[in-house]
Structure formats: structure tokens, C-alpha cells
Chains A and B, each alone.
Chain A
């Protein structure tokens, strides 16, 4: 048997680290950090906790190289999914044609999106829809993005 048996003290140490991480992340959440640091701190602690679980509880630290490749592939595909999705969402308002007609009183929604109106109905909007604030009809504007 060449299997590596993780000693009990390592399991206990990881357990205590995870509990400490939980206490830390709760305490940090109530402290008002500048900018987006609250989210970054929370995610850093969560990632550290997850890393401990993966390396020790899930034995990846002692596993064959192929397991490392599989774990890395999960992170790689996640990165692709986030990067491609946000490269779309984050650049939708860059359309020059839309920029020119963007003015107060008009709302333009980039390309196509589904909007929920005040009355609860859904409406599909395409780039050519220039929504002059519906206030003429005495209604609230359709869009609140």
C-alpha cells in the first residue's frame, strides 16, 4: 500500500483553521472597508478555506498528478465561463450608434434584453427601441437599470 495516510493532527489543525476562517469572515463583514475590499476580503478567506479542504480533507496534496490536472481544469473552465460572459455584458454599452442617441429622457438598452415592466409583464427590447420616458402617459419609466 503506497497510499498516504494523513495524520490526525493535520485534520484537527485544518478543522481549527476552517473554524477560525469562518469567525474571521463574519467579523470582517461588519467592518466597513473602503472600495470593494469587503467582497475581496470575504472571497479571499473563502478561497483559503476551500484550498485547505481540497488539499487536506480531499487529499489532493498527496494525490497523483492527474488529479491536480483535473482540479486545475475545473478552475480553467470556470475562468473561461466568467471571462466570456462578462466580456459580453461589460461591453454592451460600448456600441457607438447607441452612444449617440443616449440622452436624458431617452433610455436605450443595448442590443437585446428582457425587461420587467412596473406592471410585472416582461418585454423584449432590441437596440432600435429608443424609449422616450413614458412619463407622457403618466407612467413611471419602463426601465430602471
Chain B
């Protein structure tokens, strides 16, 4: 499809030049050379080649804040993606981050190399090779190797996920041959690569006989849920984020949660020790948890956040939540994880000023273009999180966790906030 057709489809002509997109864009805030409508104007008013060779084309985070707010309903996200496909065909590319290692990994996946990615499993985790539920791990095993320099391990999320699934009697299929979901290729304009990955993964899942695929990564979740069907036809299986599965199980009483106790794991260098004081630091589970209190009452008490006999006011843990772009704004799912957090006794959720559909992207996307602008977006977001007074910043996306942790790590000052994934947090709370 040519750019002309894309302009029609995304209604780029409807731009009334109001500037709301520029005001909303996290990149525009720190990068004066970029704004969503500037990209559209460059295409509409200038020679077509100008936008294709423009370096700023690759600055977009594809977070969709602009599209959601545009009064003329221009689909900037889709327009940007199409422009990138065209740019790539014309021989222009963005600058790969991390010297291209992640792009290289995804390319090898697309070329047909058969990954052997499940050595993070241990004997305590039950999995199978054919079953009803498929756990799509994604790129987590590779992140362990690539992000060793920021002391961040991502496979604990996968381990926690399988453990939690086992606890609610789900034995998921975990395949060693999983390939990248294709999200990064899709949004950075490598459509052919994306299609190859999509086909491989769909075949893998159909071979496993699964009727439901569970994700811990919103990017994979969004790609399977919204992008795969538009390209390869309707999915023959259901797609769900693990947090929603857990929420359902907790509400039914199949999973019991108690106050989290501080284990201090997975804490990168940047997260200070001082914030711990409010986080029930090392506090053992006080009386009343194991079998004494009625599970119903305990849960309801957890919901309201007070009257919880086991957690005193001072030892309540304040957390704040980073809505993933792909789940919050792009799929409209903002309440499920908040509800789940509310069901953990002793957790008090304080919102950042920009939350839900207004949440700010974690600052980097598709492993393309990471500059001081991206770093500034991340630091601003971390400062925003710290200002809420929370000691834990909860993420639901491995990418958010990596990017925010990386920003935290580089700076000399301790931003004093711990970044944890919802899955690990829930596992800590399980009784």
C-alpha cells in the first residue's frame, strides 16, 4: 500500500493543525525537532523523499497518545508505521540500539533459526508440550544476557508466572522454539520480518493444541490480539494477559494473597535502601494469615485497604503503577491490574498524575533510537513516580521495567524507588 493510500486510510489530511498532538507527545516535550503533525506536514507539503530520509521518523515511540487525543481522529501511529515501511524500502533505517544485538536476534528468528530458549525452567515448575494453555514467554531469556550491564534479570518474571499458573492448577505449554512475537519489527517498519515471525508462532501454537495463550508482556499481547488478526486472519485461540487470569482466580478464592514481605530481590543498583522503611521492611507475616482469618473477609479487607488487622498503617506499602502503552491506551485495559493490586492486603495504590490513558510511555520503543531525549523522558517519569511517595513502581511490561531500570541505573542519585513487575509482586503476596 502506498503512502498516498495510507494517508487516506489514516485520515492524515484531516489534520487541523491544532497542535494537541505536539502538546501530548512525550518526545516533543524533550525533542524540538519532532512532533506528530510535523511528520504529517512534511509528507503532505514536501517532496515525499524528504520524510523517508528524515532521521526524526525514527524518534516516534508509537505510544499513540497523539492519536487518542486528536480531535480530527488522525491515526498517527499507523501513519508513522507505514512511513517507516516505505522508508525501509527506500533504504533508510533507524539506528539500532545495543549495537543491533536485539535486531540481530529477531532477524535470526525470522530467518528460521530454531531457538532453544527454555533453559530458565527449573524442576519445580510444571509445564507440558501439548495442552490447553500456552504461556508465551517472548524475549525474556535474551534480555537476561543483554541487560547484564544494568544487573537486571527478566527470566524471574517467567518463573514467577509459571509458578503462579501452577498454583491455580494451570500447567502451561512452554515451548523452547518460541520466536519473537514480531512487535518490534512491525512498528519499526520491517513488515516482511514481522510476517515471517507471525507465521512461525501461529504454527507453533496450533501444533501445541492450545486454545488460550497467556502473556506477561503487553507488547506480545497486543501484537497477537490486534495485529496478527489484521494480517493473518482471525486467531483460533484466545489471548489474555496473566494479570487478568490471576484476577479471576483471586476473586474466585483459588489464590489467596497476603501482605508482601520485602525480599529485596531484583533490585537494581539505583533503587535505594531508604525507601524500604515504609515497605513493611522485612516484616514477617503478622498473625492471622494462615488459615485463621476467613479468606473472604481477608480479601475484602484487602480491597478497602483498611481494617486489615495484619497490616498496620505504617507498614502499608505504597505503590504506583506504570500503565503499559500497549495495554492501557492501545487496548483500553487499565482497571484489571489495578483491581489485582487492590486485592493484595497492605498495598496502597497511589496514582501518578499522568495515568491510565494519559500515562507516559516508558521512553524507548522497538530497540530503535535511544538518545538523551529518551533518557530524559524516562527520568521525568521516574521523578513523577517518586513524587507520589510510593516505594515501588509496579510495571506490567518487561520493556517498561527494562527501560526505566536502565534510566535509574545510569544516574548517580538514587531515585529511591524500586521497580517491580506485577507478576513477581503477586507471587510474593501468595499464601
- Asked if chains A and B come from one complex, the reply is no
A residues with CB within 8 A of B: none
